[in-house]
Chain A
Amino acid sequence: MPYLGSEDAVKELKKALCNPHIQADRLRYRNVIQRVIRHMTQGLDMSSVFMEMVKASATVDIVQKKLVYLYMCTYAPLKPDLALLAINTLCKDCSDPNPMVRGLALRSMCSLRMPGVQEYIQQPVLNGLRDKASYVRRVAVLGCAKMHNLHGDSEVDGALVNELYSLLRDQDPIVVVNCLRSLEEILKQEGGVVINKPIAHHLLNRMSKLDQWGQAEVLNFLLRYQPRSEEELFDILNLLDSYLKSSSTGVVMGATKLFLILAKKFPHVQIDVLVRIKGPLLAACSSDSRELSFAALCQVRQILHSLPGHFSNHYKKFFCSYSEPHYIKLQKVEVLCELVNDENVQQVLEELRGYCTDVSADFAQAAIFAIVVVQTFRDLVWLCPQCTEAVCQALPGCEENIQDSEGKQALIWLLGVHGEKIPNAPYVLEDFVENVKSETFPAVKMELLTALMRLFLSRPAECQDMLGRLLYYCIEEEKDMAVRDRGLFYYRLLLVGIDEVKQILCSPKSDPSLRLLEDQAERPVNSWALDFNTLAPVYGKAHWAVISKCQKAERHDSELPTNASFAISGHLVPEENKKVQEPPESEALMLVPNLQLSAEYFEKTWLSLKVAHQQVFPWQGEVQPDTLQMALKVVNIQTIAMSRPGAQPWKAYLSAQDDTGCQFLTELLLEPENSEMQISVKQSEARTETLPGFISVLETVIGTIGDIKS
């Protein structure tokens, strides 16, 4: 039939609908109506037979009624005047003896989505709330929310809200859940449905009667309830226990989140829960449904923030199988990176190396994948230096697959820092030098410069010639200022003498033994419990903040001036700070060069001192640790420890000493959500007059680095 021109089809159907012979034959009549629906779902405009369809709704045949209702809900907004005729039939059906007809009619009436329908549906909805069939009550309760939306969210009908609250005691479990859903929508402006103690306990006791969707949603609503006493809290947790073993992963995750939030003052309970859901989570990770296993993997990564070793025994679960989709492989590789420990590092690296030459994936995909793997190698070297050897062995052979700038940077960095252990390092770098002209990313060129300088120090014979070529290119031909500056800087550094080069490039690297202070890998459970089982872990926290900010802005763009004032107040703080800190004529500051503080000493001093000064500097994007470390070195500030690039939050610890022996200990903190770098300075001696000088030195360095980047 769709082969006919749509107009012919409509005409023919219209004729058929009016034909009294067809109307008399129940079966033929229904078939014609089915054809109308079929056309409608294929996107043909069927609105011109509205009148005939309304007539067809006056029937005892329930299928026919259903079809006509479906039709009416689709076209009512286009034909509001005709739809009013349909309302009559619907109203009559709302008092039909068959509860199914009553329910269907009520649901369709509430879904008409046309102006002016409110006055007709109010009474049927109220009657529906008191209907003796639970099927009708379910429809009516949700109808309340639809009715409220039709009113344009304006006023809340207090009597209706009370009625819904009392229906929370209904004996039908789905009515109860629907009441929660409906109240949540109606009371959106006031912050949603209120869960007080009696309601909370009532819901907890009804939980076992609900289906999995109801359970998952009730668990979500219960997050709002705050138990009064410790005893009550543990009673609730006991009731929830069995839901951690539910067959629905959604329910398990919902229950877990509730546990984590309720037990926020009892870390051992939180840890205990995370241990117990290990099984279900792992099962979900290898589920048949790829989407499920993806979502589960995201949650696993979240848990790893607090319990880094939690899944280490199961690291083989996260080995990729070649037929898995790309997004799952990426998640798995990232999880693997976090699970590496002394015992499994060999196997994991062996596995990762295999991925670089995955035959099944087509080339583009393999390349992207290899980049991630190499970045993982880099992160591994940062985090656990004991596996450097193994990474060096795994590296040769990866370079062929890498195409993208970040992957190249990671590879070049590895080659530069550990080049003495990788036999073919100079030759791989040589390829990059040969092709430097066609390289489009300045960041890759900078990385290449630094790496080659480093490698030159350890293997001068093999590198001298190409370093010369690279420097020549950067200084004479390169158009990017930052790259040229870096090239000039190295050139002049080399002129000063090889010892100075060594001192700057090979200055004590951030001490890896300082991990606790440096990376704070173990974030408290409470820092992410609120995001658990939401969309946030799917995107990663920083990215999520951006997304949700955009979404909010877009959604409320027409409304509220409050937003604007909020934005202003955000700026006020740092500016005030700045004014207060205008230096009261500081003394000249001299920082001692070549200060060598040990990490242990730093940690001890840092923990014993109070913060003397705190300030924020504007900052965009990620930090290039190398550049920063080098710049700081130039002004005689030593870097004690730094997070790996891209870590969130990113931190660095610095130390410096002036000529009077006063030490400045500094923490740099970059929170991904704010576009600013927070610095906290501690002083070994309380001499406030030197402080502004030190701050301004820091500010200059950070400002300069920030400019280069942007």
Chain B
Amino acid sequence: MIHSLFLINCSGDIFLEKHWKSVVSQSVCDYFFEAQEKAADVENVPPVISTPHHYLISIYRDKLFFVSVIQTEVPPLFVIEFLHRVADTFQDYFGECSEAAIKDNVVIVYELLEEMLDNGFPLATESNILKELIKPPTILRSVVNSITGSSNVGDTLPTGQLSNIPWRRAGVKYTNNEAYFDVVEEIDAIIDKSGSTVFAEIQGVIDACIKLSGMPDLSLSFMNPRLLDDVSFHPCIRFKRWESERVLSFIPPDGNFRLISYRVSSQNLVAIPVYVKHSISFKENSSCGRFDVTIGPKQNMGKTIEGITVTVHMPKVVLNMNLTPTQGSYTFDPVTKVLTWDVGKIAPQKLPSLKGMVNLQSGAPKPEENPSLNIQFKIQQLAISGLKVNRLDMYGEKYKPFKGVKYVTKAGKFQVRT
């Protein structure tokens, strides 16, 4: 299925290759580079490329390209999802999925790739199973290893491989039994010039961190399960039970995993927690313009909005910007023309604003369109859709676990047009 994998950095160096069947020459990547040249922007290379003998399916993650070589017809989604899983695993093991991290841990990378695929077919990809086969590098462990001479490879086979439930290993034991759930919601929205919503929806996930001994059987119920429009489930969830009772009932995997992801679409009103007042104008026949942006809270359910960042791609003719923020700090990169304003928290007494002059290239015609503002923010302890967990029950084990639910709302692709 997957013949070979090449890792390529942004400057076009192939810094790692792995072949699961016969060796495919590096020159196959020339087709990829060719497509990159055509794409005008290296990042925008199409994910599927065909060459006379192979198909190249690639993903772009953290400034790296994962290019896989395929020889037979295969569902593209399958390969794309798998490549992302590889990148996720690197991220999980090394804390970041960067060229430096991969090069530093090249031996572990090869071990991982060897276990994740055999003969080109996905084998072990669940992080908790992999971690038993190959232990992730930690500072502590490398110290211990160098003293005791022990290794970062599990000496025994993961027991999970033998349990009847493929996602959970048998014989799990914890001294503190805990189950935590994070409800994370992201608002995707496009706001038009006048401040009305063109499009908005909420993408939500519930991530779980479960450290429970034995074989616990959990059921999680919501105050308002009807809110959820489209839900996709981790394979551990009993689907029939959800359909009939709207209760999530499952034997959880051990450790961190994504329980469900859901969507609350624009039919239900999506609350927009911030508003933006803006006036960006460029004067005809003069090399300057005005920039004035103010951010304020709106429908924030009484919670503080924090971690606000505004990014603006200014038109090409903008040479420089002279701005004064009432709060936070700003930078303008004259090469990429990107303005970044790091705002921080909104204090309700004084709304943060950023005002000043824009210097344009003299003689150039004034830009036709105003730029869009991209906004990032975060609200703790609030799920903007109003979703609330009702209760969590555990069956099958006798001990009393510690339970917790955390809510957070973030901006996803949140764009304000001006």
Contact = CB atoms under 8 A, between A and B. Distances in A.
B263 A63 contact: no
Given A326-B44, A365-B41, A208 B231 contact: no
Interface stretch (B150-158, B354-362, B380-388): B150-158
A371 interface: no
B16 A535 contact: no
Given A245-B239, A247-B232, A314-B265, 7 more contacts: A63-B151, A63-B152, A100-B157, A181-B119, A254-B75, A295-B77, A365-B40
Interface size class of B (residues with CB under 8 A): 35 or more
Interface stretch (B46-54, B340-348, B395-403): B46-54
A145 interface: yes
Given A321-B413, A535-B74, A359 B313 contact: yes
Given A26-B149, A283-B203, A359-B369, A253 B374 contact: no
Contacts of B89: none
Interface string B45-80: 011101011010111100000000000011111101
5 contacts: A100-B156, A135-B157, A316-B266, A325-B41, A325-B43
Contact of A213 (B22, B78, B133): B78
Interface string B154-188: 11110001101111000000000000000000001
Nearest to B259: A247
Given A533-B77, A539-B50, A242 B239 contact: yes
B339 interface: no
Interface string B262-273: 010110000000
Interface string A136-147: 001100100110
Nearest to B239: A242
Interface in B180-200: 188, 190, 198-199
Contacts of B149: 26-27
Interface stretch (B121-129, B211-219, B287-295): B121-129
Given A283-B261, A291-B59, A325-B44, A245 B231 contact: yes
Interface in A633-665: none
Contact of B260 (A107, A146, A247, A252): A247
Nearest to B200: A316
Contacts of A229: none
A145 B120 CA distance: 11
Interface in B131-154: 133, 146, 149, 151-154
A603 interface: no
B157 A133 contact: yes
A66 interface: yes
Nearest to A283: B263
A327 B190 CA distance: 20
B121 A181 contact: yes
Interface residues of A, number: 95
B106 A37 contact: yes
A639 B164 CA distance: 68
Contacts of A172: 161
A555 interface: yes
Contact of B229 (A34, A212, A279): A279
B253 to A, nearest CB: 11
Interface of A is mostly: helix
A535 B415 contact: no
Given A247-B258, A359-B313, A323 B374 contact: yes
B333 interface: no
A138 B149 CA distance: 30
Given A34-B107, A70-B114, A135 B263 contact: no
Interface of B is mostly: mixed
A599 B44 CA distance: 46
A210 B146 CA distance: 39
Contacts of A365: 40-41
B111 interface: yes
A250 B119 contact: no
B369 A357 contact: yes
A359 B77 contact: no
Contacts of B245: none
B110 interface: yes
A606 to B, nearest CB: 39
A282 B230 contact: yes
Contacts of A282: 230, 263
A20 to B, nearest CB: 18
A173 B78 contact: no
A145 B50 contact: no
Given A291-B59, A535-B55, A357 B74 contact: no
Contacts, number: 234
A408 interface: no
A98 B369 CA distance: 68
Interface in A97-115: 98-100, 107, 113
Nearest to A362: B40
A317 interface: yes
B297 interface: no
Contacts of B81: 212, 248-250, 292
Contacts of B126: 211
Contact of B166 (A61, A209, A283): A209
A446 to B, nearest CB: 28
A245 B81 CA distance: 16
B33 interface: no
Contacts of B75: 216, 220, 250, 253-254, 533-534
A555 B261 contact: no
B208 to A, nearest CB: 13
A145 B20 CA distance: 13
Contacts of A100: 133, 154-157
A282 B73 CA distance: 25
Interface string A163-176: 00000000011100
A535 B233 CA distance: 26
A290 B58 CA distance: 11
B313 A547 contact: no
Contacts of A44: none
Contact of A173 (B43, B73, B152, B166): B166
A62 interface: yes
Contacts of B371: 359-360
B367 interface: yes
A249 B77 contact: yes
A30 B145 CA distance: 12
Interface in A242-276: 242, 245-250, 252-254
B153 A245 contact: no
Nearest to A278: B230
A26 B229 CA distance: 58
Contact of A551 (B50, B84, B198, B199): B50
B232 A283 contact: yes
B315 A359 contact: yes
A323 B190 CA distance: 13
A388 B335 CA distance: 41
B119 A322 contact: no
A283 B203 CA distance: 8
Contact of A252 (B43, B153, B232, B369): B232
Contacts of A209: 164-166
A354 interface: yes
A550 interface: yes
B153 A66 contact: yes
B39 interface: yes
A61 B55 contact: no
A38 interface: yes
Nearest to A214: B122
Interface in B221-258: 229-235, 239-240, 258
A413 interface: no
A134 interface: yes
Given A292-B84, A362-B40, A246 B233 contact: yes
Contacts of B281: none
B88 to A, nearest CB: 10
B110 A70 contact: yes
B233 A295 contact: no
Given A249-B81, A359-B313, A550-B52, A279 B123 contact: no
Contact of A208 (B110, B235, B315, B369): B235
